[in-house]
Amino acid sequence: MDMHEGREGGGATELFGSFFLGGDEFALPASCIREVVNYPARVTALPLSPPYLEGMFTLRGSVIPVVNLGRLFRADAPRAVATDKIAILDFQQVLVGIVFQETGEILRVPASDRSALHYASGDAHAVIAGTILLGGGARLLQILDPHALLHIENVPHVLALQATGARPGTARRHAQGERRRCVSFHAAGATFAFEMLAIQEIIKVPELHSSLLNSALCLGRMHFRGSQVAVVDFGALLQAAEPAAAAKAAKAATLDQRVIVVRLGDTSVGFLVDSIDSIVHFFGDEVLPIPLLSKARAAMFAGCITREGLGDIIYLDHKEILSQTEIVEMRDGHARLYPADAETSAATHQARRRVYITFTVETPFAVEIGQVREIIDFSGAITTPPGMPACMRGMLKLRQQMISIIDLRRLYAMPPLPDASSGKILIVERGDERYGFLVDHVDNIMTISDSQRFAAPQIIRTGTHDDLRSEMDEMLDIGTEAQRQTLSVFQCDHLLEKLGAALPQAA
């Protein structure tokens, strides 16, 4: 290491903030320190990040990456703990958090007490820009150079999103904006989301067939709409597990696991995920940029959406998840090795197709996705004012609007769910009012041909009042001859008309 130390010339005094880490005292120029905060209760892991990145959290409309300075210096240093502090640095107009153990003080240091260190080009120790000697040499502080400390890969992207996003303190005119929807899901210990328009279907894990193209990433292939579709382990893609562990987990699929079929250009790809969480609506200015410290698949991380009760959702750009080479290999390889069933594929596209959410309230139902504004988890924040009809769980405040929560099991005299906290709430919107239907659970998102939709049998439509299916005019017949399923088509308008007399006028 070619390094030499020299006293800074001139008599200029500079302000520094000091802090402690592992018994050493460090200093940063006060001009780059925005503020110091306690370590947040929730830090979201960001996959494909370097080991020294603890994760990220949101602070007043900004996503803050949390850098563990100790692990930056030494890979086996301990992880951050709840008692640590975070210094928020203004780094190239992007905010970054640095973890340390204890705050020091603001120091006004004359040039005579500062020394600059000069390194050979490329030396890793260049993060230490110099030293401060105080108390006649009894106190030594190492000055950190924030620009040598970190490199943020996507500064232009972050600044562009910050420029187009809503300004703090400015009312958002969302009524005039474009409302979008995404499906959130869990994988690799974090919550992600695909925009709804990118998703063809969400299905239970089917039988996966071995493929000559199997790899750590591609688990195999499945039959989908007359074609062979590659299935990618999303956790392995995020390097959350060793390939052998990922393959073993895929073979023993859990009840919550799903395959999300996404259209990438002219190719369909299935992504195996741990569970589907919710449907979330959002506006473009709610997507917060994520400063990234890694190049690995960086383009797939489009931003972060924060929702009360759901935490930070990593919003993905589906077009950037796989490289074009990976997509072409999966598409051309499977098409060449396992030709599509042309007859089945042609028959599938003859009739109009619609997207449905399938769910259960004692028996299976399907609702056209356009009838549902969003899906949320059952919330303990529901309040029950006096005088509510028996079918109502109560009122829930969701983004500044009160929503009437209707318990479909109570309405139709069904036995209650053993654990209501496992339920989901379908939010529907009619005019200025919103209502929530409490259901047992949400199963899948499916694209189904109109040829599989037919009028409900008369015996069901004239059934007892205590049968939710009697309110529905149509049914869907899906599956294969070996495994067939019939679902009632849920009509929100039918149910709201029926409830009109029972519900309070002010919702």
pLDDT score, position 402: 87
Rounded to two decimals, what is the model's pTM? Answer: 0.78
If DSSP codes are grouped into helix, strand and coil, which group holds residue 451? helix
- CB within 8 Å of 437: residues ≥ 6 apart: 406, 408, 425, 426, 428, 492, 495
- Between 34 and 166, the more confident residue is 34
Q: How far is CA 420 from CA 171, 424, 440, in A?
A: 36, 9, 8
Mean pLDDT, rounded, for 7-15: 70
Q: Closest Cα to residue 158, out of 60, 244, 63?
A: 63
| Element spanning 446, H or E | strand 441-449
For the chain, percent of residues with pLDDT exceeding 90: 26
Per the CB < 8 A criterion, the answer to whether 61 and 288 are in contact is yes
Q: How far is CA 277 from CA 150, 261, 360, in A?
A: 34, 16, 15
pLDDT tens figures, 95-136: 899 999 998 899 999 988 988 877 666 555 578 888 999 988
pLDDT score, position 248: 47
Q: Closest Cα to residue 373, out of 486, 282, 453, 498?
A: 282
How long is the chain? 507
Chain centre distance of CA 235: 13
Q: What value does the CA radius of gyration of the chain take, rounded to a whole number of Å?
A: 28
DSSP 8-state code for residue 383: B
What does the alpha-carbon distance between residue 225 and residue 206 come to, in Å, rounded to a whole number?
13
When pLDDT is cut at 50, 70 and 90, the band that residue 20 belongs to is very high
What does the alpha-carbon distance between residue 92 and residue 113 come to, in Å, rounded to a whole number?
28
Given a cut of 90, whether residue 194 has pLDDT beyond it is yes
pLDDT tens figures, 377-432: 887 778 888 877 878 888 888 877 888 898 888 888 888 888 878 889 999 887 77
Q: How far is CA 281 from CA 179, 260, 284, 307, 492, in A?
A: 7, 18, 10, 10, 19
pLDDT score, position 2: 45
| Element spanning 18, H or E | strand 13-21
Strands 180-187 and 275-282: antiparallel
Per the CB < 8 A criterion, the answer to whether 321 and 297 are in contact is yes
pLDDT score, position 234: 92
Mean pLDDT, rounded, for 214-230: 80
Mean pLDDT, rounded, for 285-292: 90
Chain centre distance of CA 28: 33
Q: What is the mean pLDDT of the chain?
A: 80
Given a cut of 50, whether residue 245 has pLDDT beyond it is no
Given a cut of 90, whether residue 15 has pLDDT beyond it is yes
pLDDT score, position 459: 65
193: tokens are 């989301």
Q: How far is CA 436 from CA 308, 412, 492, in A?
A: 17, 16, 11
pLDDT score, position 313: 95
What does the alpha-carbon distance between residue 205 and residue 229 come to, in Å, rounded to a whole number?
13
Per the CB < 8 A criterion, the answer to whether 405 and 425 are in contact is yes
pLDDT score, position 494: 74
Chain centre distance of CA 77: 29
DSSP 8-state code for residue 256: S
pLDDT tens figures, 132-150: 999 888 899 999 888 777 7
Mean pLDDT, rounded, for 447-464: 74
Sign of CA dihedral 148, 149, 154, 156: negative
Range in 108-112, 121-125, 369-373, 477-481 the model is least confident about: 121-125
Max CA distance (Å), the chain: 95
Given a cut of 50, whether residue 344 has pLDDT beyond it is no
Helix residue spans in 33-127 (DSSP H): 69-73
Given a cut of 80, whether residue 241 has pLDDT beyond it is no
For the chain, percent of residues with pLDDT exceeding 70: 80
Mean pLDDT, rounded, for 330-340: 66
pLDDT tens figures, 156-174: 667 676 666 644 444 444 5
| Element spanning 236, H or E | helix 234-237
When pLDDT is cut at 50, 70 and 90, the band that residue 8 belongs to is low
Phi/psi-derived region of residue 72, left when phi > 0, alpha when psi is between -120 and 50, beta in every other case: alpha
- CB within 8 Å of 44: residues ≥ 6 apart: 55, 56, 57, 190, 191, 311, 312, 314
Sign of CA dihedral 240, 242, 245, 248: positive
Q: Which amino acid is at 26?
A: F
Strands (E), 205-352: 218-224, 227-233, 258-264, 267-273, 275-282, 301-307, 311-316
What does the alpha-carbon distance between residue 478 and residue 353 come to, in Å, rounded to a whole number?
13
